[in-house]
Structure 1
Amino acid sequence: MQAVQWLRSLVFVVFIYAMMPVLGLLYLPWALLSRKGALAACHAWCRVVRWAARWMVGLRTEVRGTPPEDEVLIVAKHQSFLDIILIYGSVPAGKFIMKRELMYAPVIGQYALRIGCVPVDRGKRSAAIKQMVADVGKGRLEPGQLIIYPQGTRIAPGVKAPYKVGSGVLYHELGQDCVPVATNVGVFWPRKGILRKPGLAVVEFLPRIEAGLGKEAFMERLEDEIETASNRLMREAGFDPEKAA
């Protein structure tokens, strides 16, 4: 049975990546004229992935809580590409801090810049944060929801990794509310590999943390809320993070 699921997963992966250039070209005229066109294209691809995952590999998806529509900082647990898709597809104008190399990726790079993503040189994140804060203050960045991952990379379920201070710096300097996001998607859609498992993958928008906390207090509260909620969601999915640690 696992061999069959792997083959279904392979077809699914090929399909969703093939749909990137298809939708990219379909929406290109609108995207060139307006940022709204680029946002619409990205949201359309997110919907296609969720639709295909359900019937191709038996992976249902659910978004809980209240996705923000105002300008906020979204700080999320990152387990696989699927949490990016679910979070981005749930907010009106999401944007990311991304590795500068992605600017040169076909379709993805061009659309990422068009929707307002912020390219960062590897190893120069602190300088990029300072520049971004300055650009926000001068109104040079596109409005929307800035999505960042406090652990800096994808973390497999059950693996512990520190929360980096960049989230606290952005929260303090931008002066915006923060919406934490928990997830269990890594139980079904791993960091690496082809196999996608059937089940219910969830991202949950947690109650917002209002602007104004000190950095240390913010970081402590952020990690506690995201990790507690993510562990709950993983247990709901039949995975005990404490036993896996």
Structure 2
Amino acid sequence: MQYLRSLFFNFQMYLAMVVLFIWFTPAAMFRRSAAYAGIRTYCRYVRWSAAWMIGLKSEIRGEVPKGEVIIASKHQSFFDIIMICSVIDAPRFIAKKELRRAPMLGYYAYRVGCVFVDRGKRGRAVQDMVAGVTDPNAPKGQLVIYPQGTRVAVDADKPYKVGVGALYTALDQRCVPAATNVGVFWPRSAVLRKPGLAVVEFLEPLGADLALEPFMAEIETRIESASDRLMLEAGFDAAAARAKGASGGS
């Protein structure tokens, strides 16, 4: 039954995207504020519909970042993007270049000033990313980056990339780490959505005065430890799962 509910939920989630795209796009073409409004409306709708259709409630913890700030977030599935965009005022993301061609999503990503990078070209990707975010004509707001570069399964261990440190150094802004447990309920590549409480937690911000190496070490420690805590709260011991995987399941 939960699988069928998940199928219906997924269908109506994308149907709602089409409906709201048609509704908001004429205004969004002329006013960026309308693009933000369309994104927030859609994301809040998905959170609301997930709660009663599939029993997946969601909660934001910590102080929601305002103004010009970097948000370095754990990324486990599409749902953590939805949760973050449902509460921040002016989101823009560091996104893979393939998103630019995605129907509807690509247009809104472009409209709010997302920076598209080619993840296959590592050194060039970092240069393009820094150039995009420091462009004086780029929209101001909350810049969201996923330090591991992609969605990471709840039992996986993936290194943090230097891109977030390059942004932190170039922008001279505070960085708010964000942890999550959403992958426990909404896996990155599965249809089934599980009931429970998905959480995104904004942690204490780091000031703009750290050197690169201490900054990288600090955000990884904060994000990973907080995410493990949230996943354990949801009934999944991520640290034990990673240890078992590293030992070959013995």
User: Alignment partner for residue 86 of structure 2, among 85, 89, 95?
Assistant: 89
Unaligned runs of 5+ in 1: none
CA distance in 2, matches of 1:56, 1:197: 11
CA contact (8 A) 1:126 1:166 kept: no
Task: Give 1:199 shift.
Answer: 0.5
Task: Give 1:173 shift.
Answer: 1.3
Give the corresponding residue for 2:214. 217
Give the corresponding residue for 1:35. 32
Kindly provide the CA deviation profile for residues 113-151 of structure 1, in whole angstroms up to 9, marking residues without a partner as x.
001111112323543443443455451211011101111
CA distance in 2, matches of 1:135, 1:100: 13
Give the corresponding residue for 1:58. 55
Q: Does 1:102 align with 2:73?
A: no
- Superposed, which structure 2 residues align to 1:77-226 within 5 Å? 77-226=74-223
CA contact (8 A) 2:182 2:199 kept: yes
CA distance in 2, matches of 1:135, 1:222: 23
- Superposed, which structure 2 residues align to 1:225-244 within 5 Å? 225-244=222-241
After superposition, the Cα gap between the structure-2 partners of 1:137 and 1:99, relative to the gap in structure 1 and judged at 3 Å, is closer
User: Mean alpha-carbon deviation: is it higher for 218-227 or for 92-101?
Assistant: 92-101
Give the corresponding residue for 2:247. none
User: Mean alpha-carbon deviation: is it higher for 17-26 or for 99-108?
Assistant: 99-108
What RMSD, in angstroms, separates the aligned Cα atoms of the two structures? Answer: 1.3
Task: Give 1:243 shift.
Answer: 2.2
After superposition, the Cα gap between the structure-2 partners of 1:199 and 1:136, relative to the gap in structure 1 and judged at 3 Å, is closer
Letter in 1 for 2:202: F
CA distance in 2, matches of 1:193, 1:72: 32
SS at match of 2:227: helix
SS at match of 2:155: coil
User: Mean alpha-carbon deviation: is it higher for 58-67 or for 95-104?
Assistant: 95-104
Task: Give 1:90 shift.
Answer: 1.4
Give the corresponding residue for 2:6. 9
User: Mean alpha-carbon deviation: is it higher for 118-127 or for 201-210?
Assistant: 118-127
CA distance in 2, matches of 1:134, 1:99: 15
CA distance in 2, matches of 1:211, 1:223: 16
CA distance in 2, matches of 1:96, 1:184: 20
Structure 1 length as normaliser, TM-score? 0.95
Unaligned runs of 5+ in 2: 243-250
Structure 2 length as normaliser, TM-score? 0.93
CA contact (8 A) 2:115 2:132 kept: no
CA distance in 1, matches of 2:128, 2:219: 24
CA contact (8 A) 2:231 2:238 kept: yes
CA distance in 1, matches of 2:99, 2:133: 22
CA distance in 2, matches of 1:204, 1:71: 19
SS at match of 1:33: coil
Structure 1 residue runs of 4 or more that deviate by more than 6 Å after TM superposition: none
User: Mean alpha-carbon deviation: is it higher for 225-234 or for 93-102?
Assistant: 93-102
SS at match of 2:29: helix
Task: Give 1:212 shift.
Answer: 1.3
SS at match of 1:68: coil
